[in-house]
């Protein structure tokens, strides 16, 4: 049985794709959960229009993500931290701190999009990757300096 996927289904395909499935799987799982529709001629024509609209939205999102990436890469944020002996930080600089610094510069980014392996615990200059979109990552320069 051929079906058109309405949503991404893991291990099967992406939304808008025509796939071949067993008839029981289609009738008992995909159709009741509104994950797919039968692949009739009328549905194929309708899904083509939906696919075109989806591509336009994705291109627009990608353009906006590229603009945000350029904006982030032009920025250089710095944070002043308290340090003890031998320039060791009290606490650390986390992805939430970096998100707050970016927000102060006018760029709103979720803290989970900041790909910081571990919190920063030493003074210095760091290049931190920020995931803007699914496959678009910007590099942000973060200065961690001593509070005077």
pLDDT at 26: 93
- Residue 26 near residue 10, CB atoms below 8 Å: no
User: What CATH number does the domain located at 67-146 have?
Assistant: 3.10.430.100
Domain boundaries in the chain? 2-64, 67-146
What's domain 2-64's architecture? Answer: 3-Layer(aba) Sandwich (3.40)
Cα distances (Å, whole numbers) of residue 133 to 7, 66, 140? 19, 9, 15
Cα distances (Å, whole numbers) of residue 43 to 18, 55, 92? 11, 18, 55
Return per-residue pLDDT of the chain as tens, 148 residues. 999 998 888 889 888 889 999 999 999 999 999 999 999 988 888 888 877 888 899 899 999 999 999 999 999 999 999 888 877 888 889 999 999 999 999 988 899 999 999 999 889 999 999 999 888 999 999 999 988 7
Does pTM top 0.75 for this prediction? Answer: no
Q: Is there a common fold for 2-64 and 67-146?
A: no
pLDDT at 33: 94
Q: What whole-number distance in Å separates Cα of residue 49 and Cα of residue 26? A: 23
Terminal alpha carbon distance of the chain: 71
């Amino acid at each position: 049985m051929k079906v058109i996927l309405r949503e991404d289904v893991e291990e099967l395909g992406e939304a808008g794709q025509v796939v071949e499935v067993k008839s029981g799987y289609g009738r008992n799982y995909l159709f009741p959960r509104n994950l797919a529709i039968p692949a009739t001629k009328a549905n194929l024509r309708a899904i083509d229009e939906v696919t075109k609209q989806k591509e336009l939205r994705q291109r627009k999102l990608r353009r906006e993500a590229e603009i945000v990436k350029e904006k982030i890469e032009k920025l250089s944020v710095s944070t002043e931290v308290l340090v003890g002996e031998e320039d060791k930080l009290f606490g650390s600089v986390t992805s939430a701190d970096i998100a707050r610094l970016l927000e102060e510069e006018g760029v709103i980014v979720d803290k989970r999009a900041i790909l910081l392996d571990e919190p920063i615990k030493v003074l210095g200059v760091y290049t931190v990757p920020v995931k803007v979109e699914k496959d678009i990552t910007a590099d942000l320069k973060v200065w961690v300096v001593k509070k005077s």
